[in-house]
Amino acid sequence: MNHKLLEILEQLKPKNILVIGDIILDKYLLCSVDRISQEAPVPVAWVKDEENILGGAANVANNLKELGMSIELIGQIGQDRSARKISQLLKEKDIKADKIISTQDFTTIKKLRVVSQKQQLIRLDYEKNEDLKPELEEKILEYLEESFPSYDLIIISDYAKGFITKNLAQTLIRAANDSAKIIIADPKPSHMDYYKNVSLITPNTIEAEAIVGIKAESAEAAEEIVKALNRELNCDVVLTRGAQGMLILESRKIYSVPPKSKKQVYDVTGAGDTVLATIAACLANGIGLKQSCELASIAADVVIEKFGTATVNIDEIKNYFQL
């Protein structure tokens, strides 16, 4: 099996993929904690370093870029310090971002994590969760009408922060279906009704349980969840289940992908984005969903050994096969 997956990995060709969704800056303050404050019973965090990393839809785009894909990213940022940092990182990664909406009245979404010895002490979120303004939505749709034929695959990375509207999602899905393109959605439960007739959704267990109201306490219950999602949205489903691997419903058939062996889990932040990106890169290259998920499982196994929001490149996946 590993030999076959390695062959598939080496055959991946650059494909033109659109990633559209909520763009987030993941900021980490790396600290040392060795005493309690005299002002209050709280730890004193001595900031030694900081890191800025692409998050949300930008993390999906970054993962795809590391896998050799050609990416266009569309979302919204403000005109603040966080926006400038995101723009700088996207330029460094050579991710096409000239159609990202940037407005002065929008607060760039930022997640600030204070970390000591690879453990999060607190997370501070900067966001307003404002819905995309109708005039901006219209501007995006006009551009997509012209550029849509150039995409090999579309990803909607919906963190329910306001950028993805129901009209935007449904318009993209109709356009993809009319042109026989694969469109994948990774939505939050509150937006699940946006995604009827999408090609594929990739929820994790917590999200899927919230959507259908069933606890995945057994293999049978997990199967009921993916069946319910398929009935409601008329799409294929990849349910990511952490230590239980993945459960796939494709063309009304259900099968599973077992988890890979793990050395040490540092952080699962962004692992779902890595899975989504790997599946998308494979599907865009004509690889079947099951084998795409097999490779995505390996990519996830690599990324969770890293700290924070991270990516996986092809060389790292190749190295995995040699372990």
Main-chain phi, psi angles of 66, to 5 degrees: -65, -25
Cα separation of 9 and 315, whole Å?
10
DSSP 3-state of 239: strand
DSSP category for residue 17:
E
In sequence order, what DSSP letters do the residues of 195-214 get, joined into one string?
GTT-SEE--BHHHHHHHH--
Q: Of the listed 186, 236, 267, 273, which one is catalytic?
A: 273
Instruction: Identify whether the C-beta of residue 221 lies closer than 8 Å to the C-beta of residue 213.
Output: no
* Site of tokens 């409601």: 232
| Residue 131 is a catalytic residue | no
With contact defined as beta carbons under 8 Å apart, do 191 and 173 qualify? no
User: Cβ(241)–Cβ(218) under 8 Å?
Assistant: no
Residue found under tokens 């290259």: 285
47 strand-pairing partners: 31
Pick from 73, 78, 125, 1: nearest CA to 273:
73
Identify the three-state secondary structure at position 63: helix
Q: Which amino acid belongs to residue 123? A: R
C-alpha 293/C-alpha 7 separation (Å) is: 15
Is residue 276 within 8 Å of 303, Cβ to Cβ?
no
Give the HSE-up count for residue 260: Cα atoms under 13 Å, Cβ half-sphere.
23
Q: Cβ contacts of residue 122 below 8 Å, gap of 6+?
A: 113, 114
Amino acid letter, 101: I
Contact (Cβ atoms closer than 8 angstroms) between residue 77 and residue 130: no
What is the set of active-site residues?
273
